[in-house]
Amino acid sequence: MKFHSLRGMQDIFQDDSKRWRALRSILQTVLDQYGIGEVQNPILENLNLFVRTVGDASDIVNKELYSFEDRNGEHIALRPEGTAGFIRSVIEKKIEHESQKAFYVGPMFRYERPQKGRFRQFHQLGVEYIGFPEGDADIEIISIISDLLEGLKISKKAVININHLGTNDVKQEYCRALKEFLLDYKDSLSEIDQKRLDSNPLRILDSKDESAKDILALSDLPQYQDFLANQHLDLLDSLIASFGSKNAIKINHKLVRGLDYYTGLVFEVVSNELGAQDSFIGGGRYDNLISELGGRPQSAIGFAVGLDRVLNLFEPVYSYKKKVIFINLTGSDRHHAYNIASKIREASKNIIVESILTDASLKSQLRKANKLGGDFALIIGDGEMTNKKFIWKDLNESSQEFVTLEEIIGKIHQL
Ligand code: HAM
């Protein structure tokens, strides 16, 4: 029987991994500049953590959680996102009253219908700020996003959509008004949107259904901005003023996000180069979540970058290291020759010394050396070991010479 990877799960091989590393390195450089430290949380959490945070009416909890009962009968879920686990860990460590600027990177799991840009195992880099009330922190969070886009050289491909959900009371009040309005059109809504009308009316603002879109375009639809306090509208304006010259940044009062814990600023970064799954960064403020999970009340804001999606947007620039292919033709005492390779690696971290690790013929090893993209080949047979002079072959020029180890090290330092 042949095994296949599960639907929506990817194996990431060498060249692709190189892309991932380049991406991670650019993002890391920006986060370092803001003094944000890394946190690593487990992939498995208690199922109820997500029910309580992401929300039992959300799609993520309703139909996308990977969950199981462990041998002890505990209900466990694979994390669908990183915020809940991070907040759980901060409360557990009793450090929620201290301010925190943290990031995490890792796989997340959602049982969604796989398509381009949508996987069942995907990867996020998340940033969470705890202990910073609305104001400066909201500006810094958008500033990080702006710098990430610039670092990746994709600012021109991206639009930052922002909205404000107000306080919890405002959110509830708007929800009620929206529901009351939509009830008159209930029969025209799709089955899913009719269910949402009871469980999570705000999500209808996000509906992809054409009849919902028509209803949402009606001029007497309650508008979120009419429910917001001036200070909240001012925050949106100040973000446009601060970041509008470098980025396409727009207020979208229909932006509500699919996770329940948000109040205050919310945002999503989209690109029309990504197709249907166009959102590659999402986040917002969640000032009530820590106390709802039993911690001391503390403000919080954060976002997550969908790395699988960004990967398709940016063009990595790789720093090139010269490659020496090590060809060992010695007979019995082969490890002595490999010591030479180790000495060269020790002499410079700026080159790659790759051994072919076979006793195939010189001809076939040289063919392989070219296939591996080698710049030079270092060839060592028994005679070379005795004379302490080795063959240094320039694979691009097809020239070669006999050289001592010291001479090789001298050459390598000049590369
Ligand atoms: P989210 O919007 O659910 O937010 O996910 C963030 C990003 O993860 C999305 O913009 C998208 O790029 C990526 N993503 C989500 N689902 C998939 C999928 N099935 N396949 C590929 N990529 C996907 C959160 O998860 C929040 N925890 C963000 C946050 C942090 N809010 C505050 N702090």
Atom number in ligand 1 closest to CA 307: 12
Atom number in ligand 1 closest to CA 126: 30
Is pLDDT at 332 greater than 90 in this prediction? Answer: no
Please choose from 36, 101, 122 the residue to mutate so as to test ligand 1's pocket, defined by most ligand atoms within 8 A of CB: 122
Among residues of the chain, what percentage have pLDDT more than 90?
94
φ/ψ region of 146 (left if φ > 0, alpha if ψ in -120 to 50, else beta) reads alpha
14-166+228-310: CATH class: alpha beta
Cα of 33 from ligand 1 centre, angstroms: 23
Instruction: Check pocket membership of 197 for ligand 1, CB cut-off 6 A.
Output: no
Is pLDDT at 319 greater than 90 in this prediction? Answer: no
The token pair at 249 is: 């940044």
Instruction: Check pocket membership of 80 for ligand 1, CB cut-off 6 A.
Output: no
Is pLDDT at 83 greater than 90 in this prediction? Answer: yes
Instruction: Check pocket membership of 306 for ligand 1, CB cut-off 6 A.
Output: yes
Q: Hunting for tokens 């990595």 — which residue is that? A: 316
The tens digit of pLDDT for each residue in 111-137 reads 999 999 999 999 999 999 999 999 999
Report whether CATH 3.40.50.800 matches the domain 322-414. Answer: yes
Distance CA 62, CA 47 (A): 12
| Domains 14-166+228-310 and 322-414 alike in fold | no
Strands lying side by side in the sheet with 44-46: 44-46, 75-78, 67-69
Phi, psi of 172 (to 5 degrees): -65, -40
Domain segments of the chain as ranges: 14-166+228-310, 322-414
**pLDDT for 326:** 97
Is pLDDT at 292 greater than 90 in this prediction? Answer: yes
Atom number in ligand 1 closest to CA 80: 25
Distance CA 334, CA 380 (A): 10
The tens digit of pLDDT for each residue in 229-251 reads 999 999 999 999 999 999 999 99
Cα of 78 from ligand 1 centre, angstroms: 15
Is pLDDT at 397 greater than 90 in this prediction? Answer: yes
Mean pLDDT for the chain? Answer: 96
Atom number in ligand 1 closest to CA 280: 12
Instruction: Check pocket membership of 166 for ligand 1, CB cut-off 6 A.
Output: no
Cα 271 to chain centroid distance, Å, stands at: 15
Instruction: Check pocket membership of 287 for ligand 1, CB cut-off 6 A.
Output: no
Whether pTM exceeds 0.75: yes
